[in-house]
Chains A and B, each alone.
Chain A
Amino acid sequence: MTIASKRPTQRRFTRDEFENRFFGIIRWLVIAGLLIVTVFPFYYMGLLSVRSLGDVLNNPGALWVGINDLSFGAYTRALVSVADGGEGFLGFMRNSAVLALSTVALTLAVSIPGSYAVSRLRFFGRRHVSALFLSVYLFPSILLAVPLFVFFTRVGLRGSLIAVVLVYVSQTIAVSIYMLRNYFETIPVSLEEAAALDGASRLGIMRRISLPLAMPAIVANGLFVFMVAWNEFLFALLFLVTDRDSWTVSLGLSQLTGNSIEVPTTVLMAASVLTTIPIVIIFFASERLLTEGLTSGAEKG
Chain B
Amino acid sequence: MTSRNTPDGTGIAPVPSGEVNAARTRRVKPNTLRRAEARAGLALISPTVIIVVAVVVLPIIWSISLAFQKVKLINLRSSGVFGNYVLDNFESVISAPGFVDTLVTTVIYSVFGTGASIALGLSATLALRRSFRGRGLVRSVMLLPYVAPVVAVTFVWQTLLSPQFGFINHWGERLLGWSEPIAFLTEKTRDVSFFGLTFHIPTALVMVILFEAWRQFPFAFLFLMARLQAIPGSLEEAARVDGATISQRFRYIIWPQLLPTVAVLGVLRFIWTFTSFDDIYLLTGGGAGTEVISVRVYQFLTGRGDVGLASAQALVIAIVLAVMVGVYVRFFGKKEADST
Q: Do B223 and A144 have beta carbons less than 8 Å apart? A: no
Q: Do B226 and A298 have beta carbons less than 8 Å apart? A: yes
CB of A15 within 8 Å of the partner chain: yes
Q: What string of 1s and 0s marks CB contacts (under 8 Å) between A279-291 and chain B?
A: 1100110010001
- Give the contacting residue for A265; candidates B44, B45, B159; CB below 8 A: B159
Q: Do A138 and B41 have beta carbons less than 8 Å apart? A: no
Q: Do A145 and B298 have beta carbons less than 8 Å apart? A: yes
Q: What string of 1s and 0s marks CB contacts (under 8 Å) between B297-340 and chain A?
A: 11001100001001100100110010000000000000000000
Known contacts A60-B167, A275-B149, A279-B148: A20-B223 contact under CB 8 Å? no
Shortest CB distance B293–A (Å): 8
Q: Do B278 and A116 have beta carbons less than 8 Å apart? A: no
CB of A64 within 8 Å of the partner chain: no
Q: Please provide the chain B residues from 154 to 194 with a CB less than 8 Å away from any CB of chain A in the complex.
A: 155-160, 165-167, 170-171, 174
Q: What string of 1s and 0s marks CB contacts (under 8 Å) between B279-295 and chain A?
A: 00010000000000010
Shortest CB distance B322–A (Å): 11
Q: Do B52 and A132 have beta carbons less than 8 Å apart? A: yes
What A residues does B83 contact at CB under 8 A? none
Q: 10 nearest interchain CB pairs?
A: A123-B41, A140-B275, A121-B41, A147-B59, A170-B55, A114-B48, A299-B230, A117-B44, A295-B226, A61-B170
Determine the main DSSP class of A at the interface with B: helix
A39 and B152 alpha carbons, distance in the complex (Å): 14
CB of A254 within 8 Å of the partner chain: yes
CB of A104 within 8 Å of the partner chain: no
Q: Do A129 and B302 have beta carbons less than 8 Å apart? A: no
Q: Do A34 and B55 have beta carbons less than 8 Å apart? A: no
Q: Do B156 and A154 have beta carbons less than 8 Å apart? A: no
CB of B93 within 8 Å of the partner chain: no
What B residues does A125 contact at CB under 8 A? 42
CB of A160 within 8 Å of the partner chain: no
Shortest CB distance B213–A (Å): 10
Q: Do B282 and A44 have beta carbons less than 8 Å apart? A: no
Q: Do B123 and A150 have beta carbons less than 8 Å apart? A: no
What B residues does A114 contact at CB under 8 A? 44-45, 47-49
Q: Which of B41, B47, B314 has the most CB of A within 10 A?
A: B41
Q: Do B56 and A144 have beta carbons less than 8 Å apart? A: yes
What B residues does A52 contact at CB under 8 A? none
CB of B13 within 8 Å of the partner chain: no
- Give the contacting residue for B48; candidates A41, A45, A111, A139; CB below 8 A: A111
What A residues does B155 contact at CB under 8 A? 253-254, 257, 268-269, 272
Q: Do B275 and A254 have beta carbons less than 8 Å apart? A: no
A103 and B90 alpha carbons, distance in the complex (Å): 36
CB of B51 within 8 Å of the partner chain: yes
CB of A142 within 8 Å of the partner chain: yes
CB of A3 within 8 Å of the partner chain: no
Stretch from B19-27, B95-103, B135-143 at the A interface = B135-143
CB of A218 within 8 Å of the partner chain: no
What B residues does A121 contact at CB under 8 A? 37-38, 40-41, 44
A121 and B39 alpha carbons, distance in the complex (Å): 9
Number of A-B contacts (CB under 8 A): 280
- Give the contacting residue for B310; candidates A23, A146, A177, A300; CB below 8 A: A146
CB of B204 within 8 Å of the partner chain: no
Q: Do B48 and A110 have beta carbons less than 8 Å apart? A: yes
What A residues does B276 contact at CB under 8 A? 140, 142
CB of A214 within 8 Å of the partner chain: no
What B residues does A291 contact at CB under 8 A? 143, 222, 226
CB of A166 within 8 Å of the partner chain: yes
Q: Please provide the chain B residues from 228 to 280 with a CB less than 8 Å away from any CB of chain A in the complex.
A: 229-230, 243, 245-247, 260-261, 268, 271-272, 274-278
Which residue on B lies nearest to A30, using beta carbons?
B127
CB of A5 within 8 Å of the partner chain: no
Q: Do B159 and A250 have beta carbons less than 8 Å apart? A: no
What B residues does A151 contact at CB under 8 A? 59, 62
Which residue on B lies nearest to A292, using beta carbons?
B226
A233 and B152 alpha carbons, distance in the complex (Å): 11
- Give the contacting residue for B148; candidates A124, A142, A234, A280; CB below 8 A: A280
What A residues does B275 contact at CB under 8 A? 140-143
Q: Do A170 and B52 have beta carbons less than 8 Å apart? A: yes
Q: Do A147 and B138 have beta carbons less than 8 Å apart? A: no
Q: Which of B55, B145, B298 has the most CB of A within 10 A?
A: B55
**25 pairs from A and B in contact (CB 8 Å cutoff):** A16-B243, A20-B246, A38-B142, A110-B47, A114-B44, A114-B49, A136-B56, A140-B276, A143-B60, A146-B63, A147-B59, A150-B62, A150-B73, A154-B77, A169-B51, A170-B56, A230-B149, A238-B302, A257-B151, A265-B159, A268-B155, A272-B155, A276-B148, A299-B226, A299-B227
- Give the contacting residue for A60; candidates B170, B245, B298; CB below 8 A: B170
Q: Do A123 and B297 have beta carbons less than 8 Å apart? A: no
A45 and B310 alpha carbons, distance in the complex (Å): 36
CB of A173 within 8 Å of the partner chain: yes
- Give the contacting residue for A146; candidates B48, B49, B148, B297; CB below 8 A: B297
- Give the contacting residue for B167; candidates A44, A299, A300; CB below 8 A: A44
A165 and B161 alpha carbons, distance in the complex (Å): 35
CB of A74 within 8 Å of the partner chain: no
Q: Do A166 and B55 have beta carbons less than 8 Å apart? A: yes
What B residues does A276 contact at CB under 8 A? 148-149, 152
CB of B111 within 8 Å of the partner chain: no
A173 and B268 alpha carbons, distance in the complex (Å): 18
